[in-house]
Amino acid sequence: MEAENHGILIDADAGPGILHGLSGVIAEHRGDIGTVSIIENTGAGARVYFEVTTPAWEAMMRDLRALPIVRSLDVVKSMQEIYGKRIIIMGGGAQVGQVAMGAIVEADRHNIRGEHISIDTIPLVGEHQLADAVRAVPRLPRARALVLAGSLMGGEIEIAVQEVRRTGLLVISLNMAGSVPDAADLVVTDPVQAGVMAVMAVADTAKFTVERLKRRVF
């Protein structure tokens, strides 16, 4: 039987062992958990979101609903279906805004054609704060590219960029002072164009790939 992939939103009782109980039932039905997120966990109850692939969907739903800890269960579209790939833009507020403008306009063009790309931004300053944020991007679900937008970045941020690139994350940098541009996959001077190129690089509906570029600074 072909495995089905869906999102599951569960409203459950509060207390220790809730996640273990839910995931145990999923495992019994050969469920492969692609994503799990504890949306809320208070004394009043817990809300847990799973994305699961299983060949025994109906039986798994029946057994999950039968658990005493489960108050309600809704089958929803997965985040991949709705929000798709994510592009993360971080750095100075003015530059982040300009990159986001280019990325949003280009994403709209591809999303109309059936693509699913979403844009996330965080205005952020400080070497160590930015380095921590860069290192956290590979832990974000569905993150495919990072754009660093600022006037000066280097030091610990450069080391963080080298680390996340080794995980397969695409890193685009504005042409700025500091050593970060030397560590990035692609350097773009114009912030709007940087946003456009980030979307083109991750979109299945585009023929643009960074590997095919004859130069890496624009």
Residue 2 pLDDT level (bands cut at 50, 70, 90): low
pTM of the model: 0.82
SS3 state of residue 46? strand
Identify the pLDDT of residue 214.
Answer: 66
Given a contact cutoff of 8 angstroms between Cβ atoms, the answer to whether 88 and 143 are in contact is yes
For the chain, the structural domain boundaries read 4-78, 83-212
CB atoms within 10 A of CB 207: 7
**Nearest to residue 24, comparing CAs of 59, 53, 58, 60?**
60
Identify the pLDDT of residue 176.
Answer: 94
CA separation for the pair 135, 141 (Å, rounded): 14
Identify the pLDDT of residue 8.
Answer: 93
Given a contact cutoff of 8 angstroms between Cβ atoms, the answer to whether 95 and 121 are in contact is no
pLDDT tens-digit series, residues 169-205: 999 999 999 999 999 999 999 999 999 999 999 988 8
Q: Please give the CATH superfamily to which domain 83-212 belongs.
A: Hypothetical protein af1403; domain 2 (3.40.50.10550)
- Check if 4-78 and 83-212 are the same fold: no
pLDDT tens-digit series, residues 58-85: 999 999 999 999 999 999 988 888 888 9
Given a contact cutoff of 8 angstroms between Cβ atoms, the answer to whether 203 and 110 are in contact is yes
Q: Take residue 208 and report the two structure tokens written for it.
A: 């643009």
CB atoms within 10 A of CB 11: 15
Q: Please give the CATH superfamily to which domain 4-78 belongs.
A: ACT domain (3.30.70.260)
